[in-house]
Structure 1
Amino acid sequence: MKVSAPLRLSAEAIRGKERHFPLFLITALLPIGVFPFAKLDGTVLERLALPLAVTLLVLESLRAMPEWVARIGPFKVNGIYRWLGIISAMVVWWPLLVGHRPLFLAHVLVVAIRALFYSLTAVRIIQVLANCDRVGVRTLCLGAAGYVHLGLTAGLLATVLQMVDPDSFNLGATVLHEELMARLSYFAFVTLGSLGYGDVVPASPIGESFAVLVSISSTLYLSLLIGLLLSRFISSQQREEV
Structure 2
Amino acid sequence: MQRKITKQNNFYYMTAALVVLLLSASLVKSVADGMLETFLEGTIAATFLVCVVSLGIDKSWKRFMQALIVIWLIAAVLKRYTDIAHIDLLMLGLMFAFFWGTFSSIARQILFSGSVNGNKIVGSIALFLLLGLMWALVYLLILALSPNAFSGIEQSAWGQNFSQMAYFSFVTLTTLGYGDISPNTPFAQVAVYMEAIAGVFYMAIVVASLVSAGLAQKETQ
Q: Shorter chain as normaliser: what TM range? A: 0.7 to 0.9
3-state SS of the aligned residue for 2:215? helix
Alignment TM-score, normalising by the size of structure 2: 0.84
2:58 and 2:105 in contact (8 A); partners too: no
User: Is 1:168 aligned to residue 176 of structure 2?
Assistant: no
Q: Is the 8 A contact 2:112 2:212 kept in 1?
A: no
Contact 1:152–1:185 under 8 Å retained in 2: yes
Hey, what's the Cα distance between the residues in 1 that align with 2:171 and 2:66? 30
Bigger mean CA deviation after superposition, 211-220 or 46-55? 46-55
1:22-37 equivalences under 5 Å are 22-37=12-27
Query: Is contact 1:39-1:46 (8 Å) kept?
Result: yes
State how far apart, in whole Å, the 2-side matches of 1:115 and 1:148 are: 13
Provide the residue aligned with 2:58 in structure 1: 67
1:179 aligns with 2:160: yes
Cα distance, 1:155 vs. partner?
A: 0.6
Distance 1:89-1:39 versus aligned 2 partners, 3 A rule: farther
User: 2-side partners of 1:81 and 1:146: how far apart?
Assistant: 17
Gaps of 5+ in 2: none
Distance change (3 Å), C-alpha of 1:173 and 1:163: closer
Report what 1:149 is aligned to: 130
* Corresponding residue for residue 199 of structure 1: 180
What is the CA-CA distance between 1:235 and the residue it aligns to?
Answer: 1.1
Instruction: Establish whether residue 79 from structure 1 lines up as the match of residue 68 from structure 2.
Output: no
The correspondence for 1:88, drawn from 62, 72, 78, is: 72
| TM-superposed deviation, 1:79 | 3.0
Cα deviation, 1:24-77, whole Å, max 9, x if unaligned, reads 1100111210112224971787665422321221112112224254xxxxxxx6
Structure 1 residues without counterparts, runs of 5 or longer:
1-14, 70-76
Task: Find out whether 1:238 has 2:219 as its counterpart.
Answer: yes
- Give 1:88 deviation, angstroms: 3.4
Q: 1:18 is paired with a residue of what secondary structure?
A: coil
1:210 is matched with 191
Out of 115-124 and 187-196, give the one that drifted further: 115-124
Question: Which of 120, 125, 139 is equivalent to 1:139?
Answer: 120
Determine the C-alpha separation between the residues in 1 that align with 2:77 and 2:104.
26
1:88 aligned partner, one-letter code: W
Structure 1 residue 238 displacement after superposition: 1.8
User: Amino acid of the residue matched to residue 52 of structure 2?
Assistant: L
Counting aligned pairs with the same residue, the percent is 17
Q: How far apart, in 2, do the equivalents of 1:169 and 1:149 lie? A: 22
**Is the alpha carbon distance of 1:30 and 1:89 closer, same or farther for their aligned partners in structure 2, counting shifts above 3 Å?**
farther
| Partners of 1:39 and 1:47 within 8 A in 2 | no
Query: Which AA in structure 2 matches 1:31?
Result: L
Q: Give the counterpart letter for 1:129 in structure 2.
A: I
The one-character-per-residue Cα deviations of 1:105-127 (angstroms, maximum 9, x if unpaired) are 11111111101111221122111
Higher helix proportion, which one?
2
Match of 2:101 among 97, 120, 126: 120
Q: For the Cα contact (< 8 Å) 2:99–2:134, is it kept in 1?
A: yes
Letter in 2 for 1:148: L
Q: Is the 8 A contact 2:72 2:94 kept in 1?
A: yes
Scaled by the length of structure 1, what TM-score is found?
0.77
Cα distance, 1:213 vs. partner? 1.3
Quote the Cα distance in structure 2 between the aligned partners of 1:235 and 1:40: 49
**Residues 221 and 93 of structure 1: CA distance in aligned 2, closer, same or farther (over 3 Å):** farther
